[in-house]
Amino acid sequence: MIQVNSIQNEIGSTIVAKKVSVTAIVESILFYCVFGFSSTKATTFFAGW
């Protein structure tokens, strides 16, 4: 049971990490779409990254 639980925890952590990274990517793309094209300052801000 302990081994099964640890495997489930690892899988759960991996899924959460993937969701977080996907969410961060989507949010940064949306942020760029909203602010990047309407503001040159935002565009240069992203170019700095």
For residue range 1-49, what is the model confidence (pLDDT) as tens digits? 566 778 778 877 887 888 888 888 888 888 877 766 666 665 566 565 5
What's the whole-model pTM score? 0.43
Contact 36, 46 (CB under 8 A): yes
| Residue tagged 């909203």 (tokens) | 34
